[in-house]
Amino acid sequence: MTDIHPTAVIEDGAKLGANVKIGPYSVVGSQVKLGDGVCLQSHVVVGGRTRIGAETEMFPFASIGLAPQDLKFAGEDSELIVGARVRIREHVTMNPGTSGGGLVTQVGDDCLFMVGSHVAHDCIVGNNVILANNATLAGHVHVGDFAIIGGLAAIHQFVRIGAHAMVGGMSGVENDLIPYGSAMGERARLRGLNLVGLQRRDFSRDEVHNLRTAYRLLFAQEGTMQERVDDVVELYSEDEGVMEIVNFVREQTSRAILQPKSANGG
């Protein structure tokens, strides 16, 4: 049964699913759609063209779907889509897209956004992603499934964070982090593979061995990156995880691939 506190404001046009709970002093805008079982604890604001998936829970003072922090934004009809079973803690902010990024910001299922974390305009966030306290994504960032962004970390605009990657706390990430990679530092560098994450997600010893060998080949000192990628493909073309890294590296973007400190003499 839907439970709406008498102090909550539900604007005309808002669409609420079954068994929605909206706590004291929350505000739901006219273009918002809340899926079944969504819970807004109290003092939550959800505005704009925003869709919230089933059983997502928002905690006090979250601000979701309001206009992006982009001076180029001119009121275009953009949207924010949040998946199912997402936990959005206190003071989290998420903004819709802009005309410069496809008009949509999207967050997958089963994510956790800890206190004060931020998802800017035109970001695409996968499933099972964790942003720790005060971690921030600038505009147009892509984050793969199961990635973890540590507390106070900042991801530069247009950067890609690969699936199963880990960004250490207080890191500034200016370039793309490969899937399964681990990065940290004031200006983050690649520090190896996210071996703890792989272990927690029950990757087999053979899978981890192949990823480690492929990593060493990709970031060796000899040859060009293209030559090293070709060597990895020749050895591991049938390995799904390794090829995920290869395809990530091959994709052309505006950002370079994050390198280890020793790579290319850096």
User: pLDDT tens across 5-60, in order?
Assistant: 999 999 999 999 999 999 999 999 999 999 999 999 999 999 999 999 999 999 99
Active-site residue identified among 23, 47, 53, 122: 122
Residue boundaries of the structural domains of the chain: 3-140, 198-265
Beta bridge partners of 160: 142
Beta bridge partners of 64: 46, 94
Decide: 79 and 104 in contact? Cβ < 8 Å.
yes
Instruction: Based on the residue annotation, tell me whether 121 is a catalytic residue of this protein.
Output: yes
Per residue, the 3-state secondary structure of 123-174, as one string, reads CEECCCCEECCCCEECCCCEECCCCEECCCCEECCCCEECCCCEECCCCEEC
- Reduced to 3 states (helix: H, G, I; strand: E, B; else coil), residue 13 is coil
Q: What confidence score (pLDDT) does residue 1 get? A: 86
What does the pLDDT average to over 226-254? 96
User: pLDDT tens across 64-96, in order?
Assistant: 999 999 999 999 999 999 999 999 999 999 999
Beta bridge partners of 3: 21
Beta bridge partners of 154: 136, 172
CA distance 20 to 215: 46
Instruction: Based on the residue annotation, tell me whether 230 is a catalytic residue of this protein.
Output: no
Instruction: Based on the residue annotation, tell me whether 3 is a catalytic residue of this protein.
Output: no
Q: Which fold has domain 3-140?
A: UDP N-Acetylglucosamine Acyltransferase; domain 1 (2.160.10)
Q: Beta 189-193 vs 181-184: how paired, if at all?
A: antiparallel
CA 52-55-60 angle, 5° bins: 75
User: pLDDT tens across 163-176, in order?
Assistant: 999 999 999 999 99
Active-site residue identified among 121, 140, 142, 164: 121
Active-site residue identified among 35, 47, 139, 144: 139
Decide: 148 and 132 in contact? Cβ < 8 Å.
yes
For domain 198-265, the CATH architecture is Up-down Bundle (1.20)
Q: Which single residue is written with the structure tokens 């305009």? A: 121
